[in-house]
Amino acid sequence: MSLGGWQDIAAVAWPLLVALLLGWVVRRALLAVARRARASAATHMRARIAEVVAVPASVALPLLFLSVAVTLTPLPGEWVARIQHWLGVGGLLCITWLLIRAAGAVERRILRENPVDMEDNLAARRVQTQTRVVSRVVQTAILVIGVAIALMTFPAIREIGAAMLASAGIIGLVAGIAARPVFGNLIAGLQIAIAQPIRMDDVVIVEGEWGRIEQITSTYVVVRIWDERRLVVPLQWFIENPFQNWTRTSAELLGTAFLWLDYRTPMARVREELERICRDDERWDGRVCVAQVTETAETTIQVRLLVSARNSGELFDLRCVVREKMIAYLAAQYPESLPRFRADLTRAGAGDDAAGTPQTGSRGSRDAARVSSPGAEDVSAADRAAALAEQEQARRD
């Protein structure tokens, strides 16, 4: 290789090497700043801003250094333009990345200032729902716009775009049909953010399952079922289908515990015991504590114990406690209140004397029993025949 060739290589290499070295140093420094800012981001606003900016800047600044270094090299003008174009696309994507991180940082701050781990969290859940949905929409829009601008910098893609505009009617119709689920969920997300049929941490009944709203994304909702399962539901489903929301306006709820008891149950004592159970339980919110007979059957009555609590979780536990303690109380104090099986015992009808008076004291007579409850069977034919034979022998004696 000639001396001029080595000089040309050195003239190209040294600006690039200096740019790469400077970019590496700046990147390491910015990443260190980001790690330190992340450790104290929970308490300092400046640290949170530094953490958001430092990571995209650690990529954008080295690209900027390379772009400047390329202009200082003796490369052909066409090569320089092409390299700077690709470096410019990388810088544009870094700016898109920075804007997405900024939107996420604003979302996290709003969520942090409106926590839901409190007793009265209705307003916080409303704010969190709106913030999460709007943030997802904004981040998606930033990403789509940034990628579209980056692609439009290529002349070939611009020509394709111009050709597509010529047949925009057909293409728009086909694209609209193909993207209907995507846009449907996007519009449903905006409706949920504005109208708020559901919010974060709402208690809902979806497809017969009890659970809480755990996550709301731009396309689906995650419902945490009571047994730790996760139900993933498209956003559009909540707009098009009915469902139960137990915390729409308030978390307070009423709940019932049903008991089937005997007709001899002292309802006054049941009401007194129910009030005592509720007063002694901290989950009762002091609003409703009622015992009523709501149904009667042939052998039992149905007693409804109606109680109230601050939220659905405490209400379920309170209902179980009321049911258990009331059964224990009745079993200990009024055992006759528990359901019983009743039978009607009658004679076989063959023990009457000539005057029609039943023979109640005949020696060796056998009573035949018939149960009055529905479905009971009569005594067997052999038993009836034996009873008749004994009664006939007693009459002859």
Q: Where are the beta strands (DSSP E) in the chain?
A: 203-206, 209-216, 220-225, 230-234, 244-245, 253-261, 284-296, 301-309
How confident is the model over 69-74, as a mean pLDDT? 79
Structure tokens at 302: 């149905």
Domain boundary residue among 285, 302, 337?
337
The fraction of the chain above a pLDDT of 90, given in percent, is 22
Residue 276 maps to a domain = yes
Residues 229-244 pLDDT 10s: 999 998 888 888 889 8
Residues 332-391 pLDDT 10s: 999 999 988 766 666 655 444 444 444 444 444 444 444 443 333 444 555 555 666 666
Same-domain pairing of 217 and 269: no
Residue 123 maps to a domain = no
3-state SS assignment for residue 278: helix
Domain range enclosing 351: 344-397
Tell me the C-alpha distance between 383 and 209, whole Å. 56
Same-domain pairing of 261 and 304: yes
Residue 127 maps to a domain = no
Q: Residue type at 180?
A: R
Residue 97 maps to a domain = yes
Domain boundary residue among 229, 249, 269?
249
Tell me the C-alpha distance between 322 and 277, whole Å. 7
Residues 294-314 pLDDT 10s: 999 888 999 999 999 988 888
- Asked whether the beta carbons of 247 and 311 are under 8 A apart, the reply is yes
- Asked whether the beta carbons of 318 and 306 are under 8 A apart, the reply is no
Mean pLDDT of the chain: 77
pLDDT at res. 340: 81
- Asked whether the beta carbons of 307 and 278 are under 8 A apart, the reply is yes
pLDDT at 66 over 50: yes
pLDDT at res. 126: 77
Same-domain pairing of 95 and 31: yes
CATH number, domain containing residue 198: 2.30.30.60
Same-domain pairing of 93 and 22: yes
pLDDT at res. 294: 92
Domain boundary residue among 310, 337, 364?
337
Residue 126 maps to a domain = no
pLDDT at 318 over 90: yes
Residues 89-125 pLDDT 10s: 888 899 999 999 999 888 888 888 888 777 666 678 7
- Asked whether the beta carbons of 274 and 306 are under 8 A apart, the reply is no
pLDDT at 165 over 80: no
Dihedral of the alpha carbons of 159, 161, 162, 167, in degrees to the nearest 10: 130
Total domains in the fold of the chain: 4
The fraction of the chain above a pLDDT of 70, given in percent, is 73
Q: pTM for this structure?
A: 0.50
Measured CA distances, 374 to 84, 237, 342, 346, 370 (Å): 94, 49, 11, 15, 11
Better pLDDT: 280 or 251 = 280
Residue 120 maps to a domain = no
